[in-house]
A and B are shown apart, each in its own frame.
Chain A
Amino acid sequence: MTQTVTYIVVDDDHFNNTICSMIIKKYMQATEVKIFTEPESGLLYFKEKLTSARENEQIFLFLDINMPQMSGWEFLEEFEKLSTEIKNAVKIYILSSSVNDQDLLKSKNNALVTDYIIKPLTREKVFKLLQP
Chain B
Amino acid sequence: MNQTLRILHLEDNSSDAELVKRFLKKEEIDFEIRVTENKCDFTKALGEFCPDVILADHRLPAFDSEQALEISFQHNYKTPFILLTGNVSEEFAAGMIKKGAHDYVLKSNMQRLPNAILRAVEFSRFEEERQKFLQDVIASEGLLREAERLAHLGSWQIDLTTQETKWSDEAYRILGLDPGETELTYERFLEFVHPADHATAKEMFAPDMLSQNDEIKSNIRIIDKFNNLKYIRSALKVVKDHTGIPVKIIGFNLDVTETVKAEQEVKKRESFYKKLIERSSDMKILFSSDGMILYGSPSIKKILGYHPGEYLGINGLKMIHKNDFRKLVTRMKNLIPNDGGAFYNQQRIRHKNGSYRWCAGTISNHLNDPDINAFVANFRDVTARKESEDKLIQSQSHLLASQRIGNVGSWELTLKRSDTFDYGKTFWSEQTYRIFGYEPDEVEVSSEFFIERVHPDDRERIRISTREAIRSSRFYSSEHRILRKDGQTRIVQNNAEVIRDPITLKAIKMIGVVQDITEIKSAQMALAKSEANLSSIVHNTELAYVLLDNDLTIRFYNEPANAGFLREAGKQLMLGSNVLDYFTGDRRNRLIDTCKKVLAGGKVNYETSFTSENGVILWYDNLNTPVKDSDGQILGMILSRTDITERKLLELERENITEDLIQRNKDLEQFAYITSHNLRGPVANILGSVNILQEEDLGKTEKKVFLSVLKQSVDKLDTVIIDLNHILEIRNAVNEKKENVILSGLIVDIQSGIQQTIENEQVKFVLNFSECNRVLSIKSYLHSIFYNLITNSIKFRKPDIAPQIEISSQVHPGILRIIYRDNGLGLNSEKLKSQVFGLYKRFHFHTEGKGMGLFMVKTQVETLGGRIKLNSEENMGCEFILDFKI
Interface set of A (CB-CB < 8 Å, partner B): 13, 15-16, 18-19, 22-23, 26, 66, 68-69, 97-100, 102, 118-123
Q: Report how far A22 CA is from B688 CA in the complex, Å.
A: 10
Bound CA–CA A120/B705 (angstroms): 16
Contact B680 A19 (CB under 8 A): no
Instruction: From A16, A69, A118, give the contact of B685 (CB < 8 A).
Output: A16
Cβ of A100 and Cβ of B676 under 8 Å apart? yes
Listed in ascending order, the chain B residues whose CB lies under 8 Å from chain A are: 673, 676-677, 680-681, 683-685, 687-689, 691-692, 695-696, 702, 705-706, 709, 712-713, 842, 845, 851
- Give the docked Cα–Cα distance between A42 and B716 (Å): 26
Output the least CB separation between B846 and chain A (Å). Answer: 11
**Residue from B685, B688, B842, B845 with most neighbouring chain A CB atoms (10 Å):** B688
Residue of B nearest to A26 (CB): B696
Is the Cβ of A69 less than 8 Å from the Cβ of B688?
no
- How far apart are A105's CB and chain B's nearest CB, in angstroms? 13
Find out whether the CB atom of A13 lies under 8 angstroms from the CB atom of B685: yes
Give the CA-CA distance A119 to B687 in the complex, in Å: 9
Q: Which residues of A contact B845 (CB under 8 A)?
A: 68-69
- A15 contacts which of B676, B689, B695, B842 (Cβ < 8 Å)? B689
Inter-chain contacts of B680 with A (CB < 8 A):
97-99, 119
* Chain B contacts for A16, CB-based, 8 A: 681, 684-685, 688
How far, in Å, is A84 (CB) from chain B's closest CB? Answer: 30
Question: How far is the CB of B45 from the nearest CB of chain A, in Å?
Answer: 176
A19 and B685 contact, Cβ closer than 8 Å, known pairs A68-B842, A123-B695: yes
- What's the minimum C-beta distance from B292 to chain A, rounded to whole angstroms? 116
Q: Are B685 and A98 in contact (CB under 8 A)?
A: no
Is A119 a contact of B695 with CB atoms below 8 Å? no
Contact A15 B677 (CB under 8 A): no
Closest to B696 in A: A26
Q: How far does the alpha carbon of A100 sit from the alpha carbon of B845 in the complex, in Å?
A: 26
Residues of A contacting B696 in the complex (Cβ-Cβ under 8 angstroms): 22, 26
Residue of B nearest to A95 (CB): B684
- If A26-B696, A100-B673 touch, does A15 touch B713 (CB 8 Å cutoff)? yes
- Contact status of A98 and B676, CB under 8 A, knowing A19-B685, A68-B842: yes
CB-CB under 8 A for A121 and B685, given A26-B696, A68-B842, A97-B677 = no
Residues of B within 8 A of A120 (CB): 684-685, 687-689, 691
Q: In the assembly, what is the distance between CA of A15 and CA of B713, in Å?
A: 8
- How far, in whole Å, are A22 and B699 apart by their CA atoms in the complex? 12
Q: Which residues of chain B are within 8 angstroms of A15 by Cβ–Cβ distance?
A: 685, 688-689, 709, 712-713
Give the Cβ gap from B498 to chain A, nearest Cβ, in Å. 100
Among B673, B681, B687, the residue within 8 A (CB) of A13 is B681
Question: How many whole Å from A118's CB to the nearest CB in chain B?
Answer: 8
Provide the residues of chain A in CB contact with B681, threshold 8 Å: 13, 16, 66, 97, 119
16 further contact pairs, Cβ within 8 A, besides A13-B681, A66-B677, A100-B673: A13-B685, A16-B688, A26-B696, A69-B845, A97-B683, A98-B673, A98-B677, A99-B676, A118-B684, A119-B680, A119-B687, A119-B688, A120-B687, A120-B691, A122-B688, A122-B691
Bound complex: CA A60 to CA B685 (Å): 21
Contact residues in A for B692 (Cβ distance below 8 Å): 19, 22-23
Contact residues in B for A122 (Cβ distance below 8 Å): 688, 691
- The CA of A13 and the CA of B713, in the complex, are separated in Å by 10
For the complex, what is the distance from the CA of A120 to the CA of B695, rounded to whole Å? 14
Q: How far is the CB of B847 from chain A (nearest CB, A)?
A: 12
* Chain B hits for A121, CB < 8 A: 688
17 A–B pairs (Cβ distance < 8 Å), ordered by A: A13-B685, A15-B689, A15-B709, A15-B712, A16-B684, A19-B706, A66-B677, A66-B681, A68-B842, A98-B676, A99-B676, A100-B673, A102-B673, A119-B680, A119-B681, A120-B688, A120-B689
Closest approach, in angstroms, between the C-beta of A98 and any C-beta of chain B?
5
Give the 9 A-B residue pairs with the shortest CB-CB distance, closest first. Answer: A120-B688, A119-B684, A19-B688, A97-B680, A97-B684, A15-B685, A97-B681, A15-B709, A120-B684
Closest-by-CB residue of A relative to B674 is: A66
| Bound CA span A122–B690, Å | 11
**Smallest CB gap from A69: residue in B:** B845
Is A19 a contact of B695 with CB atoms below 8 Å?
A: no
* Complex Cα–Cα for A69 and B841 (A): 10
Complex alpha-carbon distance, A111 and B324, angstroms: 110
**When chains A and B are docked, how far (Å) is the Cα of A68 from the Cα of B832?**
13
Task: Kindly list chain B residues whose C-beta atoms are within 8 Å of the C-beta of A118.
Answer: 684
Chain B residues with CB under 8 A of A119: 680-681, 684-685, 687-688
B716's nearest neighbour on chain A, judged by CB, is: A15
Q: What residue of chain B has the Cβ atom nearest to residue A66's Cβ?
A: B677
| Nearest CB in chain A: distance from B124 CB, A | 165
User: In the complex, what's the smallest C-beta–C-beta distance from A33 to chain B, in angstroms?
Assistant: 16
Q: Which residues of B contact A100 (CB under 8 A)?
A: 673, 676-677
- For B706, list chain A residues within 8 Å (CB): 18-19, 22
Structural contact, A18 and B683, CB atoms closer than 8 A: no
What is the distance, in angstroms, from B477's C-beta to the closest C-beta of chain A?
89
**Chain A proximity of B328: nearest CB distance (Å):** 108
CA distance A69 to B842 in the complex (A): 8
- What residues of A have a CB within 8 angstroms of the CB of B705 in the complex? 18
